[in-house]
């Protein structure tokens, strides 16, 4: 295998090779309507390498600039530190794209640092595993606390899943492994992410992004979660209080005994 010269951080020698590849890619791109080519900033979690990479790509000149190699387990604090160091080195008039991000809090923090574009599997993949993003935090619809809850998934959401179905029904679908659960939760999660981005764009347009970011921070969600824990009892206790029979084990459908079926 060809060995690339450079020190333990993979700098200098690699920089030259990467810059040459980026320049060749730029030259090879055929400009046509509706298409553009982005340069991808690399450099791991090293601010100086990120800045070197951003400057080299800016000198080549791309239609947009991506920040790659983040959201791979380094943690939000490190990711934000690298964005703080990298984004100012990119041209402000070109779109800036953070690859593979992310959770709602990651997106809000990245937009506050100057990122314009994202891509992520989280809303759809979470929808397939009973996870729902709401304005009051993330919910696992498989949890028993939702078994008898007539409330919508997110009272402030206008998606069909929230408008037409209760948490109890969504819980039932998740526990039964119904494909409709994946469809409805994916539908909701995509709507949630769409609303989040719309809210961010509106906040930028009205000059209130700092307020939006402050309102999206963890304490509000933590308070909501504590409130939910205080007010919600386990499903078994709620069923008992309502005089309902115990839920049968192993699924959502009543298990018929020999006596029942006779
Ligand atoms: Zn919804």
115 plus 141 within the same structural domain: no
Query: Long-range contacts made by residues 115-119, C-beta under 8 angstroms, separation at least 24?
Result: 115/67, 115/83, 115/87, 117/64
For residue 72, tell me if it sits in a domain: yes
Query: Long-range contacts made by residues 206-212, C-beta under 8 angstroms, separation at least 24?
Result: 209/111, 209/112, 210/112, 212/108
How much is the pLDDT for 37?
95
| 74: CATH | 3.20.20.70
How many A from CA of 132 to the centre of ligand 1? Answer: 9
Q: Which domain holds residue 82?
A: 13-28+35-120
Separation between Cα atoms, residue 155 and residue 161, nearest integer Å: 11
How many A from CA of 48 to the centre of ligand 1? Answer: 42
How many A from CA of 2 to the centre of ligand 1? Answer: 52
How many A from CA of 186 to the centre of ligand 1? Answer: 9
Digit-coded pLDDT (tens) for 200-230: 999 999 999 999 999 987 555 555 555 455 5
For residue 138, tell me if it sits in a domain: yes
How much is the pLDDT for 22?
86
How many A from CA of 184 to the centre of ligand 1? Answer: 8
Q: Give the residue ranges of the chain where pLDDT is below 50.
A: 1-8, 11-13, 227, 231, 248-262
How much is the pLDDT for 237?
61
By C-alpha distance, which of 138, 108, 143, 110 is closest to 126? 138
How much is the pLDDT for 225?
58
How far is residue 55 from each of residues 13, 62, 131, measured CA to CA in Å? 16, 12, 40
133 plus 233 within the same structural domain: yes
127 plus 210 within the same structural domain: yes
How much is the pLDDT for 110?
98
Q: Is 102 helix (H, G, I), strand (E, B) or coil?
A: coil
Last residue of a domain, one of 120, 154, 182: 120
How many A from CA of 237 to the centre of ligand 1? Answer: 28
131 plus 213 within the same structural domain: yes
169 plus 91 within the same structural domain: no
How much is the pLDDT for 21?
84
92 plus 129 within the same structural domain: no
Whole-model pTM? 0.78
How much is the pLDDT for 23?
87
How many A from CA of 159 to the centre of ligand 1? Answer: 4
How much is the pLDDT for 220?
52
For residue 83, tell me if it sits in a domain: yes
How many A from CA of 253 to the centre of ligand 1? Answer: 26
Digit-coded pLDDT (tens) for 141-187: 999 999 999 999 999 999 999 999 999 999 999 999 999 999 999 99
């Amino acid at each position: 295998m060809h060995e690339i010269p450079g020190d333990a951080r993979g700098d200098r020698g690699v920089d030259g090779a990467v810059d040459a590849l980026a320049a060749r890619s730029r030259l090879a791109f055929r400009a046509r309507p509706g298409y553009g080519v982005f340069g991808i900033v690399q450099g791991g979690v090293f601010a100086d390498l990120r800045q070197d990479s951003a400057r080299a790509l800016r000198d080549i000149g791309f239609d947009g600039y991506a920040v790659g190699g983040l959201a791979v387990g380094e943690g939000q604090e490190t990711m934000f530190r690298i964005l703080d160091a990298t984004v100012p080195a990119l041209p402000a008039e070109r779109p800036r794209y953070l690859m593979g991000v992310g959770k709602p809090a990651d997106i809000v923090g990245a937009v506050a640092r100057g990122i314009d574009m994202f891509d992520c599997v989280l809303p759809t993949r979470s929808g397939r595993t009973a996870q729902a993003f709401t304005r009051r935090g993330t919910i696992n619809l498989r949890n028993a606390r939702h078994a008898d809850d007539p409330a919508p998934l997110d009272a402030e959401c206008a998606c069909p899943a929230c408008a037409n179905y209760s948490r109890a029904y969504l819980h039932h679908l998740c526990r039964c492994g119904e494909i409709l659960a994946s469809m409805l939760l994916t539908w909701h999660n995509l709507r949630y992410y769409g609303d989040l981005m719309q809210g961010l764009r509106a906040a930028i347009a009205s000059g209130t992004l700092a307020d939006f970011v402050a309102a999206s921070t963890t304490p509000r969600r933590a308070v909501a979660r504590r409130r939910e824990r205080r007010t919600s009892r386990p499903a078994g206790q709620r069923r008992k209080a309502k005089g309902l029979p115990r839920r049968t084990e192993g699924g959502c459908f009543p298990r018929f005994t020999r006596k029942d079926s006779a």
